[in-house]
Amino acid sequence: MSAPAASPGHAPASPESIATSMPSLLPGAPHFHLRDGELFVEGLRLSDLARMHGTPLFVYSKAAMLDALAAYQRGFAGRRARICYAMKANSSLGVLQVFAQAGCGFDIVSGGELERVLAAGVDGARVIFSGVGKTRAEMRRALEVGIGCFNVESEAELEVLNEVAAAMGKTAPISIRVNPDVDPKTHPYISTGLKGNKFGIAHERTLATYQRAATLPSLKVKGIDCHIGSQITQAEPYLDAMDRMLDLVEAIEAAGIPLQHLDFGGGLGINYNGDTPPQADALWARLFERLDARGFGQREFMIEPGRSLVGNAGVCLTEVLYLKPGEQKNFCIIDAAMNDLPRPAMYEAFHAIVPLAPRAGSGSCYDVVGPVCESGDWIGRDRLLNLRCGDLLAVMSAGAYCMSMASNYNTRGRAAEVLVDGTRSTLIRERESAADQMRGERLVD
């Protein structure tokens, strides 16, 4: 088992100090690294942050976020492109602020996300609004703040948006989300770009829908978009979807409807468990080869990455409460649970689990579980860990779809969040109290 990559200038940890459960490459390396046998984020010791703020605690590396963004920026160098961070991956204000300051736009899927992005100081014009079920109130609010574009997902939505805009005396900028129906046999991991899926407009209905949109007086056609799924680890589905989309662009423009921008959605995967998705710049080098060959290389582009910008920039710190040996299984009960880290319960997803101060020796095999009263409340299964009660662990790759999916089940307050920048840490969200949770509730008199 090889040691995780150490940052330059830091002595790599000795192999004996790394628990055998340590993944061969720590997800989130090099910003999360071992130094003198302890796990650090950038210049700070994670156990110091856990002691200062308590657990469970989400910790994010600003440098890791900016590095992930830089890979996209390199991929788009010399092109006209807007990177719209898909904020449902992690919608905390402090995280939005990092991407806003770096010049990103934002992809939102609800009126609540719109209010968050405005609260982070972002101009509505830098925001695009996706989602299959936009309400009239959400449309009105988005028009009020001058939204950059609505990504329309059905023919019915087109009519409603036209009505709402007309009533306000405004014109709604739109793009239509097409469902490219990429072959599931060759790419079975794609989950949103298939027929029989609730997202987008069927490929064969697209031209007719654009023709309808062009006749609606309070809509202005701006572009076209697609989003084929999430945690995609290969380039081929993107290339296939792009070809299908460019065929449509040619047909739509031949019908006299010009498209200003092409939006290829998000979906690029990250390394959770030895996954090897292409880097964003390498992926886009391949996509631009295709775009250039087909004469589209100088268009205006948009993309909507979520997970790949934040997923490996965050960890969740948690304390081992109890070790519970069993006949068939040993359980390691931690103070984080499915309400904090919902991905294992929802998708049987894998998160690496790493002690903040790994001990020598192989330890025992544990199911790592939370305190919530559900058998589905597990965070990791069959993990070889050398542990004692009170040890601190990092659940890795927890920057995306963890805090933003967190709930109050079992009346557990949501965790606190810290953003680290070098040797500086900022508490960007306080731990939620019981009083916070009960605010707005009433006893009946």
> Would you say 109 or 352 has its CB closer to ligand PLP?
109
Q: Count interface residues toward ligand PLP (CB under 6 A).
A: 17
Q: Evaluate the omega torsion of the peptide bond into residue 30 and state whether it is cis, within 30 degrees of 0.
A: yes
* Cβ 225 to ligand PLP shortest distance, Å: 8
Q: Within positions 77 to 96, which residues make up the interface with ligand PLP, using CB under 6 A?
A: 86, 88-89
Q: From 299, 293, 292, select the one nearest 249 (Cα to Cα).
A: 299
* Cβ 204 to ligand PLP shortest distance, Å: 21
- 227: contact with ligand PLP by CB under 6 A: yes
* Cβ 199 to ligand PLP shortest distance, Å: 7
- Give yes or no: 373 in active site: yes
- With CB under 6 A as the contact rule, the residue among 23, 28, 223, 306 that binds ligand PLP is 306
Q: Which stretch binds ligand PLP (CB under 6 A): 204-212, 249-257, 298-306, 316-324?
A: 298-306
* Cβ 308 to ligand PLP shortest distance, Å: 6
* Cβ 375 to ligand PLP shortest distance, Å: 28
- 124: contact with ligand PLP by CB under 6 A: no
Type of residue numbered 377: D
Alpha-carbon gap, residue 211 to 371, rounded angstroms: 55
- 304: contact with ligand PLP by CB under 6 A: yes
* Cβ 66 to ligand PLP shortest distance, Å: 17
* Cβ 281 to ligand PLP shortest distance, Å: 16
> Would you say 105 or 370 has its CB closer to ligand PLP?
105
3-state SS, the chain, equals CCCCCCCCCCCCCCHHHCCCCCCCCCCCCCCEEEECCEEEECCEEHHHHHHHHCCCEEEEEHHHHHHHHHHHHHHCCCCEEEEEEEHHHCCCHHHHHHHHHCCCEEEECCHHHHHHHHHCCCCHHHEEECCCCCCHHHHHHHHHCCCCEEEECCHHHHHHHHHHHHHHCCCEEEEEEEECCCCCCCCCCCCCCCCCCCCCEEHHHHHHHHHHHHHCCCEEEEEEECCCCCCECCCHHHHHHHHHHHHHHHHHHHCCCCCCEEECCCCECCCCCCCCCCCHHHHHHHHHHHHHHCCCCCCEEEECCCHHHHHHHEEEEEEEEEEECCCCCEEEEECCCCCCCCHHHHHCCCCCEEECCCCCCCCEEEEEECCCCCCCCEEEEEEEECCCCCCEEEECCCCCCCHHHCCCHHHCCCCEEEEEECCEEEEEECCCCHHHHHCCCCCCC
Alpha-carbon gap, residue 400 to 395, rounded angstroms: 12
> Would you say 68 or 420 has its CB closer to ligand PLP?
68
> Would you say 46 or 226 has its CB closer to ligand PLP?
226
- 117: contact with ligand PLP by CB under 6 A: no
- 157: contact with ligand PLP by CB under 6 A: no
Which residue number places its CB atom closest to ligand PLP? 306
> Would you say 281 or 374 has its CB closer to ligand PLP?
281
Q: Which stretch binds ligand PLP (CB under 6 A): 28-36, 54-62, 306-314, 415-423?
A: 306-314
Residues 330 and 323: beta-carbon distance below 8 Å: yes
Q: Within positions 256 to 295, which residues make up the interface with ligand PLP, using CB under 6 A?
A: 265-268
> Would you say 85 or 210 has its CB closer to ligand PLP?
85
Q: Which stretch binds ligand PLP (CB under 6 A): 154-162, 181-189, 303-311, 351-359?
A: 303-311
- With CB under 6 A as the contact rule, the residue among 230, 312, 404, 425 that binds ligand PLP is 230
Which of 84, 104, 226, 373 is catalytic? The answer is 373
* Cβ 62 to ligand PLP shortest distance, Å: 19
Q: Within positions 27 to 86, which residues make up the interface with ligand PLP, using CB under 6 A?
A: 86
Alpha-carbon gap, residue 112 to 130, rounded angstroms: 13
> Would you say 227 or 412 has its CB closer to ligand PLP?
227
Residues binding ligand PLP (CB under 6 A)? 86, 88-89, 107, 109, 130, 227, 230, 265-268, 304-308
Which residues are known to be catalytic?
373
